[in-house]
Structure formats: C-alpha cells, structure tokens
Amino acid sequence: MTSPTISKPILTERIISKRLMLLVLLICAIAPVFPLVATSEEFIERDSLREVMAKNGVDGAFVGYDVSAGRVFLINAPRARKRLNPASTFKIANSLIALETGVVRDENEVIPYRSETPPLIREWARDMSMREAIKLSNVPIYQELARRIGLGRYHEWLSRLTYGNAETGSVVDRFWLDGPLAISAVEQAYFVAELALRKLPLSRRAQDVVCDIMKYETVADHTIYAKTGWCRSCKPQIGWWVGWVQQRGGVFAFALNIDVVGVADLDKRIPVAKELLSQFGAI
C-alpha cells in the first residue's frame, strides 16, 4: 500500500535553506499531503548517485541523515518522501513496543512458533527468542508478539512514536505486511536516528535492547545497526534496508528502498546501500 507522494520543491545538488523548508511546510499545512518529519535540517538532493542503483540493475530511493551536521541527503527525492509498506523493517518498532508493553520479558525470552501456513523460510518453524527472530526476520514469531500487544496498544504507541501514518486497520498481525501501515524513507531515517540517540519516547532499557539486537556488523571504526524488509504484497514488490552507522561518536542514519523485480534483487539491497554509505563517507 502506498500513499501520495509529498509535493516539495528540491534543488538538485543544492542545499535547501531552512527558511525555504519552513515556508514549504506552512504551505503544505493547508494542502492534503503528508508533512516532512523535520523542519530544521538542510535537505540536499544527490540524484547523480542514482547511477549506483542503475549499475546494479535496480531502481529506488535512498535517504542519508548526517545527524551531527544536520544534513539530509536524498536520492530520488519524490520516492524518498512516498509512504510505502514497511514490511519487516517494522520489527524495529515492534520490538520496542513489545518490550515497553511487557508482552515479552526481554530479548532472550523464548516465544512459541504458531502458524497455520507453511513458513516462507524453513528456519522460522520453531520457537525462538526475539534476539534470534529479528536476525532471521521471523514473521510468525513477530505475529505472535503482535497478537499479545493488540490493536489498542498499537494505536497508542504508533501515534506516540509518530511512526509513518500510524494506521493499523483491523488485522492485528498483518497491518505492517499488507497495510494500511505505511512510512516513507525520510521518516524511517528520522525514526532510527532517534533510536540511535535514545531519544524515542520509550524507556532507555527498551531502546538499548533493540539497538543491541539490531547490530549488523562492526568494521574498523564503525558499527552498522540495520534491518531488512521485503514487501511481497506491494506492486511492485519493495525491498528495504534501514538503520544507522555509528562512527567516531556520530550517527549517520539511512533508509534504502528498491523495487524487487526478481528475488535476486533482494541480495542487492545491502551492497547498494553500503556503496551509497561509502559515497557519503559514513563507512
């Protein structure tokens, strides 16, 4: 499920002034579009870097948020602002909410596997902890957590976290897979940046735990924390990689989404994002 693209003027390879962004936001306040997450950062479009995606045979969008510098880099800005189904990137927020509401004791509590349909991945079909489930992107395990949380608490917490459109619909264990929940790459980058800085309206414990289980790799002077996603119900299908790089005391948050034309495109998410992160000096 997608939502209308946010209509904002962007100047290619030029910084959009903060005053202009504030003016645009005031105009958009009376228009039927989704507002940007922030009003104080400098937005820079870098469409020349779309060639990184093109040479890998994919099309999509990328957002890089240099938190300390207050700069947000956009590749394919209209798409970067379009709300898309988060798929398994929602496991980040889902883990936070599960811990905060106490439906799971901690990241090591074993959660029972309950599914009436054959698993997409064979390794999913067993009981496991949230720490293991997020690494395997185990959908049935997180669906069990969703049923424990319930729609009422999701309504409360998604609004409090300002997570995308914060819509759940009526199916408690499918709304992030099939919609109506939707979030843009810009919003994803801001969300994980706040998590990295422990600034979300949640306990420090919940944020510390989720950051820990999101750790992807540590290389030289940086550590990557990230989560993949694959929206199979989207048309075209969408692949995500969302997270941040912690380096030299700073945070560079990012969100990549690409069209998945064939299953082989899923393996391109991380290499493409890493190449773009390298271009921005984040890794």
116-162: pLDDT as tens digits: 889 999 999 999 999 999 999 999 999 999 999 999 999 999 999 99
Query: Distance between CA atoms of 15 and 65, rounded to whole angstroms?
Result: 14
Please name which of 104, 101, 148 lies closest in space to residue 128, comparing C-alpha atoms. 104
Asked which of 35-44, 68-77, 94-103, 209-218 is least confident by mean pLDDT, the reply is: 35-44
| Residue 2 within a domain | no
Residue at token pair 């706040």: 194
Round the average pLDDT of the chain to a whole number and report it: 89
H helices present in the chain, as ranges: 18-28, 50-55, 77-80, 90-101, 130-136, 139-160, 175-178, 185-196, 204-213, 269-279
pLDDT of 4 higher than 70: no
| Residue 6 within a domain | no
Q: What is the pLDDT of residue 1?
A: 43
Going by pLDDT thresholds of 50, 70 and 90, the confidence category of residue 18 is very low
pTM for the model? 0.86
**Which residues span the domain enclosing 272?**
15-279
| Residue 21 within a domain | yes
Query: Distance between CA atoms of 267 and 263, rounded to whole angstroms?
Result: 8
Residue at token pair 């959908």: 139
Q: Is 248 left (phi over 0), alpha (psi -120 to 50) or beta?
A: left
Cα dist from 207 to 41, 90, 169, 202, whole Å? 24, 15, 26, 7
208-251: pLDDT as tens digits: 999 999 999 999 899 999 999 999 999 999 999 999 999 987 99
Return the percentage of the chain with pLDDT > 90, whole number. 82
- Is 88 among the catalytic positions? yes
| Residue 32 within a domain | yes
Taking residues 94-102, report their average pLDDT.
98
Considering Cα of 19, then 25, then 30, then 32, what sign does the dihedral take?
positive
Please identify which of the residues 17, 40, 68, 88 carries the catalytic annotation.
88
Query: Distance between CA atoms of 206 and 228, rounded to whole angstroms?
Result: 20
Going by pLDDT thresholds of 50, 70 and 90, the confidence category of residue 23 is very low
Contacts of 217 (CB under 8 A, 6+ apart): 223, 224
180-196: pLDDT as tens digits: 999 999 999 999 999 99
How many domains does the chain divide into? 1
| Residue 256 within a domain | yes
Query: Distance between CA atoms of 138 and 140, rounded to whole angstroms?
Result: 6
CATH number of the domain bearing residue 213: 3.40.710.10
